[in-house]
Structure 1
């Protein structure tokens, strides 16, 4: 139901993974829509049991995803959650594999995602953006950790790499209560020592009244130069409708954006999770 609601609302980018357990349900929904009306993205784990998957295993994984999604090709096929110390071997071994799958017509664009929960300093995507070998990358970016704006996005844009933003809203950015609880942890508070939460929320309330923090977080990510797609995960149609309204809302007031950029400048150790 949520997928159909999304497509009917004009959302045309659908993201999944072999590990999410959602491909089959998504595939059932997609059959009602022309294939050219949406972009299908899914992901695979480049490692199994600590070893790099072979070309046959990668293609078998893709074929299984295609079957579950009930499509003949996916637009984007991404190496999922690549750790910084594994990036080079994935790049060197799997780029040729993915390019062959592209030649076979099973995928249109290659991609890579970072494990932002632990790789908050973008140890994987900084070199990936510089190398420019993947077509698409999924990057963690939000109010609390804007480091990708300086370290990843410029090279991605220079190399023609499309960017998908994950973590725009996480647990800490749901509302004011959650953010205050998040920074009750001294280690997190130390990461953002310049942030005065009372002042932050005073600025937000002055400019935006009772606008939900999650709404502000989505708009902040959406308005960042170099971000192409904002990802939003939900299984609730009402929640989805609220997110669509948020993405279509006007830009944040310059005072709010400027305050958030200044307050969290230099923060690299937080994900919001």
Structure 2
């Protein structure tokens, strides 16, 4: 698996990483063997950067990940978790909860240090608290050796300049904003992040199943014209004998300015396919045809979090 350096850190991450949200049964009921096998297959396939959060399964993802990683040499994988989001509507970015959350995550994951910790979905709270309280608290934990690098994650593009115009972090994670249909992250944020020396991570290459052949989930927030274009693009790919998910993943991995793209599944076969696709060349002709289909709805997304953070 090809690797890239994350910003100014000393981390070399695979261009394709394993997202452990599915281990928390966020999308369907998951059998224990499936969860444990998914982690093993990910590591065997070179997806040795693992991303999780206390929010995923309300702790279940971290617990199962900790079990799956028992006996695996700690220096053979890179580990990221998050803090601040603990339920659909429960957010706490206070300094007190920051310290508690890191210690709980370390216990669940069975390790004495985290490689990266991110403030999770900061657009749901007044973001000045992240600057004034949360990041300073994380820097103290970083100095204590429990965390190597710190950052934040979220959906709206506004969050990156709001935070980084006032303070510094080591890396950020954007989701569903760099895909076949929506490249706002690369268009609006990545040049700014690079100028700040901030490591750039992308998640959600399939945009919550929008860019797959799977039935669209009822909770998908994208507008109907975006969904219609995605169905048309998927049918066009199928007519060429290609799964649109393959094109979607390869498109994300091809951008040299994005260190890694995080994709999650509790299905080991999905992970094997992704690793295989990552090693295959991108069909540039098909890509242009699909981009033409998406052109009328390019960069159309939805709102997340507080209105003032969008």
| Category of TM-score, reference length = shorter chain | 0.7 to 0.9
Find the counterpart in structure 1 of residue 48 from structure 2: 12
TM-score, length-scaled by structure 2: 0.72
| Kept after mapping to 1: 8 A contact 2:212/2:234 | no
Change (3 A) 1:51 1:210: closer
Question: Distance between the aligned counterparts of 1:196 and 1:153, measured in 2?
Answer: 25
Q: Which one of the candidate residues 82, 96, 99 is aligned to 2:136?
A: 96
Question: Distance between the aligned counterparts of 1:46 and 1:25, measured in 2?
Answer: 19
| CA displacement at 1:65 relative to structure 2 | 0.4
Question: Distance between the aligned counterparts of 1:129 and 1:210, measured in 2?
Answer: 44
| CA displacement at 1:231 relative to structure 2 | 0.9
Residue 224 in structure 1 maps to residue 255 in structure 2: yes
Question: Distance between the aligned counterparts of 2:111 and 2:253, measured in 1?
Answer: 29
Question: Distance between the aligned counterparts of 2:100 and 2:185, measured in 1?
Answer: 33
Residue 138 in structure 1 maps to residue 173 in structure 2: yes
> In the TM superposition, what whole-angstrom CA distance separates every residue of 1:16-73 from its partner, at most 9, and x where no partner exists?
1112121111112222221111110001116898775432321111001000100000
Find the counterpart in structure 2 of residue 24 from structure 1: 63
Q: Matched residue of 2:98: which SS? A: helix
| Kept after mapping to 2: 8 A contact 1:76/1:107 | yes
Find the counterpart in structure 2 of residue 37 from structure 1: 76
Q: Which one of the candidate residues 185, 195, 202 is aligned to 1:148?
A: 185
Find the counterpart in structure 1 of residue 106 from structure 2: 66
Find the counterpart in structure 2 of residue 162 from structure 1: 199
Unaligned runs of 5+ in 1: none
> In the TM superposition, what whole-angstrom CA distance separates every residue of 1:177-205 from its partner, at most 9, and x where no partner exists?
758x99xx99431x699x6975x568646
Find the counterpart in structure 2 of residue 110 from structure 1: 150
Change (3 A) 1:221 1:131: farther
Find the counterpart in structure 1 of residue 210 from structure 2: 172
Q: Which has the higher contact order (CA 8 A, sep 6+)?
A: 2
Q: Which one of the candidate residues 284, 299, 309 is aligned to 1:267?
A: 299
Question: Distance between the aligned counterparts of 1:255 and 1:68, measured in 2?
Answer: 44
RMSD: 3.2
Question: Distance between the aligned counterparts of 1:51 and 1:178, measured in 2?
Answer: 30
TM-score, length-scaled by structure 1: 0.81
Change (3 A) 1:251 1:24: same
Q: Which moved more, 1:235-244 or 1:105-114?
A: 235-244
Question: Distance between the aligned counterparts of 1:68 and 1:197, measured in 2?
Answer: 40
| Kept after mapping to 2: 8 A contact 1:79/1:113 | yes
Find the counterpart in structure 1 of residue 96 from structure 2: 56
Unaligned runs of 5+ in 2: 1-36, 304-310
Q: Which moved more, 1:49-58 or 1:87-96?
A: 49-58
Question: Distance between the aligned counterparts of 1:186 and 1:71, measured in 2?
Answer: 38
